[in-house]
Amino acid sequence: MDGPVKYARSDDVHIAYRVIGEGTRDIVLIPGTLSHVEVFWEHPTNEYLLKRLSSFARVIVFDKRGQGLSDRVAEQTLEERIGDVKAVMDAAGSERAALYGWSEGAPMSLLFTATYPERTEALVLCGGFASMQAEPVSLQPEVWVRFLRELEAHWGEGILVPFIAPSRGKDEAFLRWFGRLERASASPGAILALMRASYEIDVRHILSSIQAPTLVLHRIGDRLIPVAAGRYLAQQIRGAKYVELPGDDHLLQAFDPDTLDLLIDEMEEFVTGARHRPEPDRVLATVLFTDIVGSSERAAELGDRRWRDLLDEFYATVRRELERYRGIEIDTAGDGFVARFDGPARAIKCASSIGDSVGSLGLRVRSGLHTGECEVSGDKLRGIAVHTGARVGGLANSGEILVSSTVKDLVAGSGIQFADRGMHALKGIPGEWRLFAVSA
């Protein structure tokens, strides 16, 4: 996972790249709008992607010209960019590789595949398009101009997140990381030049000439590039395999773990002919989601330094309570915690104790709990039960501990009292759920 940064020479431009893994086959990752061979791959989702891919292949990642650690040239054509891919492959000693292009990297991958069929073993596209202006994307010029103005005014603040990952639009930690990625990837002028060039790209005319085996993946509710764009690619590329993935976010880093694993499984099977991910262990667990109420307003009131200090105190307080009630920390997301318990009553008592303890810090939290069968992958939990717990937590009010009916039924006889909060639809979870607030 720690392949050193190297540089390939593409005419007079230096292209930064890294090689991860030592597999017998090569996969070249063609980035979307943003790339940085260090910052981009620090995110846990990207790191997990590299870990999985490098288990069966040698993975080559690079920064497009004008971005990241590559030379910061302003003007660039699609032809020059596919020349950069060839230069990176040459420098890495890759004669033939599978290409994985996502989002804006899809047209680049398509043109490379059509131009250098002898260098392309397979082609995998995710969230891709052939043209932004033509159907089925049909992005109108006036909308594009307004978007570019907004982009220039707020570049480096995580401005792209609401467009490409609306589900993470209020995740302060994620916005901070993505803002850092924006700043590290490109200057405002460079990103505007890239965006204008991307808007003019149209590779529809080359789709019929693609000879490499092709896998097209697309999220069915993609808010940025409609699923019809993925269907169009699969229809126009002879023999292409098409797979629709669940979910709405366009950005890979906003994929839930199950969908990310599904994407990688499809890639591995397509490239190698088999799936090798071991079956995960499954356990019955109670999952607790808790986060600070009004964190954005409090952070703005205190300033970055004082807010960071307060968060450190919050983390320490929650961890003491988790230890006291034998909870296991699963993840921290900005100002929230995810933890697992082997008993729902202890999970409720821990949530209550957390609420009381952080009150001395001048903070209020909300909590959500659900009990269900979860997949255990290392120190992480995955599965529908985890998503259900997150959705329940998202509906809790300030200071409230909200639980699913499953939790309530399992603690019958414990003396814990509940108030019925009625039936609710949980986004992305089948059926309706009766929820209860802990009252005593």
Query: What tens digit of pLDDT does each residue of 279-302 get?
Result: 556 788 899 999 898 888 888 888
CA distance linking residue 302 with residue 160, whole number of Å:
26
Cis check: omega of the bond before 136, within 30 degrees of 0: yes
Pick 281-438's CATH classification: 3.30.1360.120, 3.30.1280.10, 3.30.70.1230, 2.60.120.1090.
3.30.70.1230
Cβ neighbours of residue 56 closer than 8 Å, sequence gap 6 or more:
23, 25, 268, 271, 272, 276
Classify residue 356 as exposed, middle or buried by CB count within 10 Å of its CB (0-12, 13-18, 19+): exposed
Which DSSP letter does residue 133 get? S
97-102/26-30 β-pairing: parallel
- What kind and span of H or E run contains 323? helix 304-324
Q: Choose among 63, 51, 61, 82: nearest CA to 18.
A: 61
Q: Choose among 106, 126, 76: nearest CA to 206.
A: 106
Q: Choose among 110, 127, 101, 107: nearest CA to 199.
A: 107
CA distance linking residue 385 with residue 340, whole number of Å:
11
> Which pair of tokens denotes residue 166?
């609306």
- What kind and span of H or E run contains 190? helix 188-200
CA distance linking residue 155 with residue 356, whole number of Å:
40
Domain spans in the chain, listed from the N-terminal domain onward: 6-272, 281-438
Q: Supply the pLDDT for residue 257.
A: 77
Contact call for residues 262 and 252 (beta carbons, < 8 A)? no
Q: Give the type of residue at 262.
A: L
End-to-end alpha-carbon separation of the chain, Å? 49
Q: Supply the pLDDT for residue 278.
A: 56
- Judge if 6-272 and 281-438 fold alike in CATH terms: no
CA distance linking residue 288 with residue 43, whole number of Å:
23
Q: Supply the pLDDT for residue 385.
A: 87
Give the CA angle between residues 48, 182, 168 to the nearest 5°: 60
> Which pair of tokens denotes residue 371?
């009990």
pLDDT single digits (tens) 375-397: 876 667 888 888 899 899 989 99
Q: Where are the beta strands (DSSP E) in 148-222?
A: 214-219
Q: Supply the pLDDT for residue 334.
A: 65
Which DSSP letter does residue 131 get? B
pLDDT in tens, the chain (440 residues): 578 999 999 999 999 999 999 888 999 999 998 999 998 988 878 888 998 999 999 999 999 999 999 998 866 788 899 999 999 999 999 999 999 999 999 999 999 999 999 999 999 999 999 999 998 999 899 999 999 999 999 999 999 999 999 888 877 778 888 999 999 999 998 888 888 888 899 999 999 999 999 999 999 999 899 999 999 999 999 999 999 999 899 998 888 878 888 999 999 999 998 777 655 567 888 999 998 988 888 888 888 888 888 888 988 999 999 999 989 888 876 678 899 998 889 999 999 999 999 888 889 999 999 998 888 766 678 888 888 998 999 899 999 999 999 999 888 888 899 999 999 988 878 788 899 999 86
> Which pair of tokens denotes residue 69?
């650690």
Main-chain dihedrals φ then ψ at residue 24, nearest 5 degrees: -85, -10
pTM (whole model) above 0.85: no
| Look-up of token digits 């070249």 | 28
Q: How far is CA 137 from CA 48, 147, 245, in A?
A: 30, 15, 18
Q: Give the type of residue at 438.
A: V
Dihedral sign for Cα 406, 221, 210, 31, please: negative
Helical packing angle, 295-302 and 304-324, nearest 10°? 130
Main-chain dihedrals φ then ψ at residue 325, nearest 5 degrees: -105, 20
SS3 269: helix
Q: Supply the pLDDT for residue 75.
A: 67
Q: Choose among 35, 40, 102: nearest CA to 72.
A: 35
CA distance linking residue 402 with residue 351, whole number of Å:
10
Q: Supply the pLDDT for residue 294.
A: 87
Cβ neighbours of residue 276 closer than 8 Å, sequence gap 6 or more:
55, 56, 268
DSSP output for 359-386: HTTT--EEEEEEEEEEEEETTEEESHHH
**CATH architecture group of domain 6-272:** 3-Layer(aba) Sandwich (3.40)
